[in-house]
Amino acid sequence: MPEPRTGWPRGRTQWLLGTVLLLALGVLFGLIFGNIWLGIVLGAAVSIGWLIAYESWRGRNSGVNDDDRGIEL
């Protein structure tokens, strides 16, 4: 009998911690340069990139290259 799913996928904790860390570093960057909004925006942008890269790596799609469609990860 298969185990019931908890709803929290494996590996999601590492992604969440990385996202929070990147956002905190963005806020720190913003505080150092005197513009908190700049830090939040940069932290959010890097966090989105982190999400895309991490999910690609988890899905074993890193390094995908399709010259016909111009797709490269």
The model's pLDDT over 3-44, given as tens digits with 9 standing for 90+, comes to: 666 666 666 788 788 888 888 888 898 889 888 888 888 888
Residue 67 in domain: no
Residue 69 in domain: no
Residue 39: count of CB within 10 angstroms of its CB: 21
**Angstrom distance (rounded) from CA 20 to CA 51:** 11
The whole domain housing 45 covers 12-57
Residue 63 in domain: no
With residue 26 as reference, give the H or E element that holds it: helix 12-33
Question: Cα-Cα-Cα-Cα dihedral of 34, 38, 39, 44, to 10°?
Answer: 170
pTM for the whole structure = 0.61
The number of distinct structural domains making up the chain is 1
Phi, psi angle pair for 71, to nearest 5°: -90, 130
**Is residue 66 pLDDT above 70, yes or no?**
no
Residue 4 in domain: no
- Residue 20's pLDDT is what? 85
Residue 7 in domain: no
Residue 23 in domain: yes
Residue 73 in domain: no
DSSP 3: P
- Residue 62's pLDDT is what? 54
Judge whether 27 and 43 are in contact, CB under 8 Å: yes
